Structure 1
Amino acid sequence: MRTTRDRIRHAILFEVIGLALIIPLGTLLFGLHAADMGVIGVGSALVAMAWNYAYNLGFDRAMQRLVGHTRKSLPLRVAHAVLFEAGLLVILLPPIAWYLGIGLVEALVMDLAIAGFYVAYAFLFNLAYDRTFPLQSWTDAAVEPSA
């Protein structure tokens, strides 16, 4: 399993790169002022960092308990990303609607568009992160002959 330090590095890199992408994209897509998209982006990132840590820790612990390792197959990576974003959507919907002074349906449409971006981004980021920072147990398993 990943260490706390590694999980913190993961969360910070994920959010910094995500903000660099979503603020200008969101400003263009939703017609918001950059400052408003920045508030939504940074506020969402802070919530997402806490959720990211808790969600990934719980997901990895569940995998470790159920299957004895934390290596994720392609279908599991897709499920992992979708479930993460679904939980975050539920958490962020009310504050976004309140901040922008819009209805929940309008906020849901905006949140779904942002979540769609982040599902794809999370999948690609996590794949790249795992390849850039593999766990030692993964590299050991790759070179050990199977019985």
Structure 2
Amino acid sequence: MRTTFDRIRQAILFEGVALVILVTVGMVFLDLTLAGIGVIAVAGSVIATVLNYVYNLLFDLALTRQTGSAEKSLHARVIHTLGFEISMLLLMLPFVMWWLDLTFVHALLFDMSFTLFYLFYTFAFTWAYDRIFPAPAPISGY
């Protein structure tokens, strides 16, 4: 099991590396200013962090009320993931439209590209993190 320090380090590195990638891609390939993409990336990071806590708490409470346990089946995990991503999209879409002065369709495509990025990024980051900072071996008997 990972320590609190390790979890904090992982969260900070996860968000920091993502911000560097998103800001760089936004500036180089999308011709956005640092303020344009930087504010979107930081706002998205803050919103995702807060939403993650609240959404997971509410989802676990609802799941426990419905099934008697917070243990997630594959079906529950798919619903959990889709619900989180849709919630994130709904929260970010108006802000992206306003901040970047985009139409609904363009903001939706922009937001969906963020979602796609994070699907692959999360997989790659957690894989690399687990290789660089392996979790300690479980204590025997627990």
Q: TM-score, normalised by structure 2?
A: 0.68
Q: Name the structure with the higher helix share.
A: 1
Q: Deviations over 1:81-131 (max 9, x none)?
A: 555333211110001101112211110011111111011112333444566
Cross-structure match for 2:52: 52
Task: Find the aligned partners of 1:11 and 1:123 in 2 and give their Cα distance.
Answer: 14
Q: Deviations over 1:35-65 (max 9, x none)?
A: 2111111121111221233345556775992
- Indicate if the aligned counterparts of 2:55 and 2:84 stay in contact, CA closer than 8 A: yes
Cross-structure match for 1:39: 39
> Aligned pair in 2 of structure 1 residues 58, 89: CA closer, same or farther (>3 Å)?
same
> Aligned pair in 2 of structure 1 residues 20, 133: CA closer, same or farther (>3 Å)?
same
- Listed as ranges, the matches of 1:51-130 within 5 Å are 51-56=51-56, 65-67=69-71, 83-129=83-129
**How many matched pairs?**
136
Cross-structure match for 2:25: 25
Q: CA RMSD for the aligned pairs?
A: 3.9
Give secondary structure in 2 for the equivalent of 1:32. coil
Offset at 1:77?
7.5
The gaps in structure 2 that reach 5 residues or longer are none
Task: Find the aligned partners of 2:55 and 2:128 in 1 and give their Cα distance.
Answer: 19
> Aligned pair in 2 of structure 1 residues 59, 11: CA closer, same or farther (>3 Å)?
farther
- Higher alpha-carbon deviation: 7-16 or 112-121: 7-16
Cross-structure match for 1:13: 13
The sequence identity of aligned pairs, in percent, is 38
- Higher alpha-carbon deviation: 124-133 or 38-47: 124-133
Task: Find the aligned partners of 2:7 and 2:55 in 1 and give their Cα distance.
Answer: 11
Task: Find the aligned partners of 1:115 and 1:82 in 2 and give their Cα distance.
Answer: 11
> Aligned pair in 2 of structure 1 residues 89, 7: CA closer, same or farther (>3 Å)?
farther
- Indicate if the aligned counterparts of 1:78 and 1:123 stay in contact, CA closer than 8 A: no
Task: Find the aligned partners of 1:20 and 1:122 in 2 and give their Cα distance.
Answer: 14
The gaps in structure 1 that reach 5 residues or longer are none
Task: Find the aligned partners of 1:26 and 1:65 in 2 and give their Cα distance.
Answer: 42
